[in-house]
Chains A and B, each alone.
Chain A
Amino acid sequence: MARQQQHPRECAREVVLANPAGLHARPATAFVDRATKFKSDVVLIKDGREANGKSIMEILALGAEQGARLSLITRGPDARAALEALLELLETKLDET
């Protein structure tokens, strides 16, 4: 059995939040749902304030409104995939009613 390579990597990207109502409870929930599917740690940063991307409460505490500039950082074995999946959510997929 091949020994598993453990080279945690880090990916980061800036994103402008597209959702009209901001990152409120439902989109925050959707974000956490998706983030927790990955092994990597997920961090969202807004104005120097950092939130664990797997904690709804921490994300809500950012108070990210539409147009907010967020830094998304993923660290771990699936950092790249996590980054892409979560960017997609922040840029387009946070549907509103």
Chain B
Amino acid sequence: MKLQEFLFPTAFVPQLESVEKEGVIRELVGALAGAERIPKTRVSAVVGALLERERLGSTGIGKGIAVPHAKHRCVKRVVGTVGLSVRGVDFAALDGELVYVFFLLVSPVNSPEEHLGALELISETLKHGTFCSFLRQARSQQDLVDLSVEAAAVKNAR
């Protein structure tokens, strides 16, 4: 699996308007529907599934990154998108920091390996510098700079 197989640029949201969890999730799911990756009639249901998952524990994994995700029958493959926030979003992240970078995933049911593979790729990419610097070019924002510096440091330490 490759990132471009499940992240759809036409659904990217470079400037999220919302600054709270539900609003961000709605924007990103709406973008996936706009890019025809999920049916428009299923937007509410998918948003509900994502919020339900958040109630089990925030997907804000720290360092300004969140990976909201859920399983839903309306997809046959993992579909995902990226959203960026300038102001930061209170996502109840595990380190208590605001979230600036979102990777939202909707996975098919009964396919844990696909979901795991997508998470692996995103994490691996963020650990290394390339994708982070791509994000930095999209928004020259200090938090994204810090992210890529951190990612590069991790890579060098390997």
Residues of chain A at the chain B interface (Cβ within 8 Å): 20-26, 29, 32, 50, 55-66, 97
Instruction: State which size class the interface on B falls in.
Output: 20 to 34
B94 / chain A contacts, CB cutoff of 8 Å: 29, 32, 56
Q: Is A26 within 8 A of B57, CB to CB?
A: yes
A65 / chain B contacts, CB cutoff of 8 Å: 112-113, 116
Q: A29 to B69, alpha carbons, bound, how many Å?
A: 14
Q: Is B56 within 8 A of A57, CB to CB?
A: no
Q: Is B123 within 8 A of A20, CB to CB?
A: no
A66 / chain B contacts, CB cutoff of 8 Å: 112
Q: Is B69 within 8 A of A57, CB to CB?
A: no
Q: Decide if B126 is an interface residue (CB 8 Å cutoff).
A: yes
Q: A20 to B61, alpha carbons, bound, how many Å?
A: 21
A54 to chain B, nearest CB (A): 10
Q: A57 to B67, alpha carbons, bound, how many Å?
A: 10
Q: Which residue of B lies closest to A62 (CB)?
A: B120
Interface centre among A63, A65, A66 (most CB of B within 10 A): A63
Selected from B57, B65, B121, the residue in CB contact (under 8 A) with A57 is B65
